[in-house]
Amino acid sequence: MRIPFTKMQGAGNDFVVLDETRGRLGLTAAHYRFLGDRHFGVGADQILTVRPSPAPGIDFEYIIHNADGQEVEQCGNGARCFARFVRDSGLSTKDTLRVQTMKGVIAPQLNADGRVTVDMGAPRLEPQELPFDASGLKLQPQGDWGNWSILPVGAAHEVLLATVSMGNPHAVLQVLDVDTAPVATLGPQVQANARFTQGVNVGFMQVRSRNSIRLRVYERGVGETLACGSGACAAVVAGIRLGLLDHQVDVETRGGMLSIAWAGGSAPVLMTGPATTVFRGEIDMPDNLAA
């Protein structure tokens, strides 16, 4: 089966985008893994699928698969590329879209400067909404509203982390310097903790000022990416709740800059950043992909 795709990236987080507005491609997890494979397939952190409106008042449905083939609830950098794709493909002429994801509706808006702002919805702040089993854990009250959990990881370590859901699960750790943070070792160790019953994206946040952070994220289903949009939202929400950040924050990732705003409480998190089409192509899907 030969399928057309568009390769895109948002702050270096890269995607294969598929158009299923005219019919389903019938892909399996093995197909998504193949598309994400950087040696045998196209190569991407996530595979994004555009589907027709599922309900009145909604423009499109947005389906997300990690490179490991698993479907997930949210992808912020992908949402910006999704909006750019539907505009450039002529699927919509709207500047602002309403898009259905697995866990709610988001609203990407195409800006005149070429960046995209996405209303990512309100963060979910209760551990069980990640889901995260916090039973028996010591919560360290800090700041006005925030709390850290002390989580044992590996044989001899404990880490302080904050949990935030943007529809998908995030654990945020504060570090002094992201360049020296043990992302490649501590990321999988935190992910391995059984309290994250559906896995977790692990963010390493360096606070530079009340309006500026640096961030690296070890993503669920991928590993470290150059940027994680929902992770940037989660890190800023955690930082604001812990009294470390103001309500508008610039987030420096290894792949580029994102801007995050959150007024607190049940207000939505607004994420602004780039969305770029890299190339378009077609790929012959092998017939013998293992399920």
* CB neighbourhood size of 276 (10 A): 16
- Contact at 8 Å (CB) between 144 and 108? no
Three-state DSSP state, 152: strand
Q: Is 193 annotated as a binding residue?
A: no
Burial of 253 per CB tally in 10 Å (0-12, 13-18, 19+): buried
Least gap, CB of 103 to ligand API (angstroms): 10
User: Counting contacts by CB under 6 A, is residue 163 touching ligand API?
Assistant: no
Q: Is 168 annotated as a binding residue?
A: yes
Distance of alpha carbon 42 from alpha carbon 37, whole angstroms: 6
- Torsion angle of the four alpha carbons 63, 68, 70, 71, in this order, in degrees rounded to the nearest 10: -20
Distance of alpha carbon 27 from alpha carbon 24, whole angstroms: 8
Count of positions on this chain that bind ligand API (CB under 6 A):
21
**Can 81 be counted among the known catalytic residues?**
no
Q: Is 13 annotated as a binding residue?
A: yes
Distance of alpha carbon 195 from alpha carbon 14, whole angstroms: 29
State which residue, 6 or 66, has the beta carbon closest to ligand API.
66
Q: Is 220 annotated as a binding residue?
A: yes
Query: Per-residue string for binding with ligand API, 63-82, x by CB under 6 A?
Result: ---x-----x-xxxxx----
Least gap, CB of 195 to ligand API (angstroms): 16
Query: Per-residue string for binding with ligand API, 194-233, x by CB under 6 A?
Result: -------x-----------------xxxx--x--xxxx--
Q: Which residues in 76-135 contact ligand API (CB under 6 A)?
A: 76-78
Q: Per the structure block, which two tokens stand in for 9? A: 């990236």
In the annotated binding site for substrate, the residues are: 13, 46, 66, 76-77, 168, 201, 219-220, 229-230
Positions marked catalytic = 75, 228
Positions that interact with ligand API (CB under 6 A)? 13, 45-46, 66, 72, 74-78, 168, 201, 219-222, 225, 228-231
